[in-house]
Structure 1
Amino acid sequence: MSSTSSILPWDVQRLPRADGSVFLVTGGNAGIGYFVAEQLSATGATVVLGSRNPAKAEVATASIRSRVPGARVRAVRLDLADLSSLRTAVESLDVECLDAVVHNAGVALDDPPRRETGDGHELMFGTNHIGHFALTHWLMPLLSAAPAARIVTMGSFAAKSERLDLDDLQSRKDYRPKRTYGRSKLAQMYFGLELDRHLRAVDSTVASVVVHPGGALDSLTPSRPPVHVRTAGARLCGAPAALFVQGKHAGAWPAVRAVLDPTVRGGQLWGPRVFSLRGKPQREPLWNHLTDTSVAVRLWDASRDLTGVDLGTIPG
């Protein structure tokens, strides 16, 4: 990666080269994950899209190749809602080391009823948090084999107003879709920060960084047919919102910077510059509730029990 990143102001349009690096983007076939993958592909790195839908992943890889000449992009089947499949998914990467993973994939349910994964976890919590927790276990040997790998966890601005109910992580008592989604993303953010504390405790070369995209709307996102098509009507309706929020291409910027910028450090939070909702990526102070390490530790222990995965055995 280019050393000029630490000297020149970060430019989202002029990313440093990352030739020879390998990056995995979960949920890289659509939404913000697609734009993370597209932007990282322009650096010369090999980018792997983790997707539970092979057909959609094929469409996304074709779109990236059409826009990024010489893009080294491919896909692997990855279903975070199926914990038993994750080891095989990681083996299918077929690489000796992994320079970064962007934990981006997630599901959001707008309406009831509550649904569960095949492992019996509430679908949003089970996919967005539990799946990434377990995936990290299987990826850790590949990440530790890289010189200075990054684990980048994509949180959400929606998590800022939420608080975890550690006695009801699965939303069995009081299921409200939007709240459950926000809490699942908050759990991811707690995990990313606690993970970095564990990594630092063993002097690991791997760093864990947390990011969020701010406000990222489809109506402000440039078209990438057939992955995403923005109609003229959507463009007009979304124009007033551009004063406050942005498209998903810009929502990808904090994650891309967290992967590439050598000045980024583990345990940091990165988001958009303007009111944390839009603009170029910058470091921001940890939200007050994210500084509560007791919640992070309890969530970590609960996640270990729910997955049977012990991330306490992180290699140094």
Structure 2
Amino acid sequence: MSSASSAPPWNVQRPPRADGSFFLVTGGNAGIGYFVAEQLSATGATVVLGSRNPAKAEDAVASIRARVPGARVRAVQLDLADLTSLRTAAESLGVDHLDAVVHNAGVALDEPPREETADGHELMFGTNHLGHFALTRWLMPLLSAAPAARVVTMGSFAAKSERLDLDDLQSREDYRPKRSYGRSKLAQMHFGFELDRRLRAVDSTVASVVVHPGGALDSLTPSRPPVHERTTGARLGAAPAALLLQGKHAGAWPAVRAVLDPAVLGGQLWGPRVFGLRGEPRCEPVWDHLADASVAARLWDASRALTGVDPSPLPG
């Protein structure tokens, strides 16, 4: 990739080539993750979809290959809700370095009851945050072996109005599904910023960037059968929402830019240009509550205790 000073203006329809690069997208078999993988595949990079469902992963791989001639794309088994499996998942990549990982996979529950992972963690917090926290531990040697790797963490606009309860991270005392989801995404975002602070402290070549997709709806997302099929009725019914929101293909743009654009820096927050809800990606001010390094450090310590691993980087 060219230097930031000589790079042309960013074009979401024509991202720069990344031949020879190797990218992992967690949850790359559906939703925004699928479109991140599809768009990265068009750059000539090798893209691996991390998925807990092999059949859905193969459908996504086939869809990308049908749309991107010559796409170098494959899938690996990855279940973020099973912490004991993550070291094996990282080893199954079968590479000596990793140029970027997009921490995208997630679980969102709308209704009670509260559910738990196999490790006994609240399902959304355990999958969305703790799973990616632990996975980063096992990917860090591969990321550090690349010339300038990136960890891109997919947050959510839902996290903007939430605050962490550090005394009840598992939502045992007061479980509300939508709030717990927002807090799990907020924890992910805190992790992304804290990771970059730790990377900078040891002069690592790895950078950590946080992104969010804005308002991304299935009804505004182009069809990718069998991964996603949008009916005519859904398309017409969503027309008014298109004034403020967008499809998941556009929700992927901030993450794709964070992976590929040499002008993107660690510790930045990227999201859609228009009200943070739709449009081309831009760097935006870090939300005030996300700038609280003391909260992030306490979350890191709690996450380390809950997972039994520490993704802190070695000196670069």
Q: Is the 8 A contact 1:5 1:16 kept in 2?
A: no
Paired letter, 1:259: V
SS at match of 1:49: strand
Q: Residues 161-194 of structure 1: CA distance to partner in whole angstroms, max 9, x if unpaired?
A: 0000000000000000000000000000000000
SS at match of 2:34: helix
Paired letter, 2:33: G
Q: Residues 11-68 of structure 1: CA distance to partner in whole angstroms, max 9, x if unpaired?
A: 0011100000000000000000000000000000000000000000000000000000
> In the alignment, is residue 277 of structure 1 matched against residue 270 of structure 2?
no
Q: Is the 8 A contact 2:138 2:311 kept in 1?
A: no
Residue of structure 2 equivalent to 1:239:
239
Residue of structure 1 equivalent to 2:142:
142
> In the alignment, is residue 9 of structure 1 matched against residue 17 of structure 2?
no
Q: How many Å separate the matches in 1 of 2:96 and 2:144?
A: 10
Q: How many Å separate the matches in 2 of 1:161 and 1:30?
A: 26
SS at match of 2:107: coil
Q: Is the 8 A contact 2:140 2:313 kept in 1?
A: no
SS at match of 1:152: strand
CA apart distance, 1:310: 1.9
Residue of structure 2 equivalent to 1:177:
177
CA apart distance, 1:6: 4.8
Paired letter, 1:86: L
The alignment of Structure 1 onto Structure 2 pairs a total of residues equal to 316
Q: Is the 8 A contact 1:144 1:315 kept in 2?
A: no
Unaligned ranges ≥5, structure 1: none
Q: Residues 77-131 of structure 1: CA distance to partner in whole angstroms, max 9, x if unpaired?
A: 0000000000100110000100000000000001100000010100000000000
Residue of structure 2 equivalent to 1:203:
203
Q: Percent identical across equivalent pairs?
A: 85
Distance change in 2, residues 1:313/1:23 (3 Å): closer
CA apart distance, 1:211: 0.1
Q: How many Å separate the matches in 2 of 1:102 and 1:186?
A: 16
CA apart distance, 1:314: 3.0
CA apart distance, 1:2: 3.6
Q: Is the 8 A contact 2:34 2:60 kept in 1?
A: yes
Residue of structure 2 equivalent to 1:28:
28
Moved more, 20-29 or 302-311: 302-311
CA apart distance, 1:255: 0.1
Paired letter, 1:42: A
Q: How many Å separate the matches in 2 of 1:4 and 1:114?
A: 46
CA apart distance, 1:3: 3.9
Residue of structure 1 equivalent to 2:18:
18
Q: How many Å separate the matches in 1 of 2:150 and 2:280?
A: 20
Q: How many Å separate the matches in 2 of 1:151 and 1:312?
A: 13
Residue of structure 2 equivalent to 1:160:
160
Q: How many Å separate the matches in 2 of 1:122 and 1:14?
A: 40
Residue of structure 2 equivalent to 1:115:
115
SS at match of 1:297: helix
> In the alignment, is residue 290 of structure 1 matched against residue 305 of structure 2?
no
Distance change in 2, residues 1:32/1:15 (3 Å): same
SS at match of 2:238: helix
Residue of structure 2 equivalent to 1:194:
194
Q: For the aligned residues, what is the CA RMSD?
A: 1.0
Paired letter, 1:215: G
**Taking structure 2 as the reference length, what is the TM-score of the superposition?**
0.99
Q: How many Å separate the matches in 1 of 2:4 and 2:286?
A: 27
CA apart distance, 1:160: 0.2
Unaligned ranges ≥5, structure 2: none
Residue of structure 2 equivalent to 1:57:
57
Residue of structure 1 equivalent to 2:67:
67
Q: How many Å separate the matches in 2 of 1:313 and 1:263?
A: 23
* Map 1:219-238 → 2, pairs under 5 A: 219-238=219-238
SS at match of 1:312: coil
Residue of structure 2 equivalent to 1:80:
80
* Map 1:35-54 → 2, pairs under 5 A: 35-54=35-54
Residue of structure 1 equivalent to 2:312:
312
Paired letter, 2:120: G
Paired letter, 2:53: N
Distance change in 2, residues 1:273/1:5 (3 Å): farther
Paired letter, 1:290: L
**Taking structure 1 as the reference length, what is the TM-score of the superposition?**
0.99
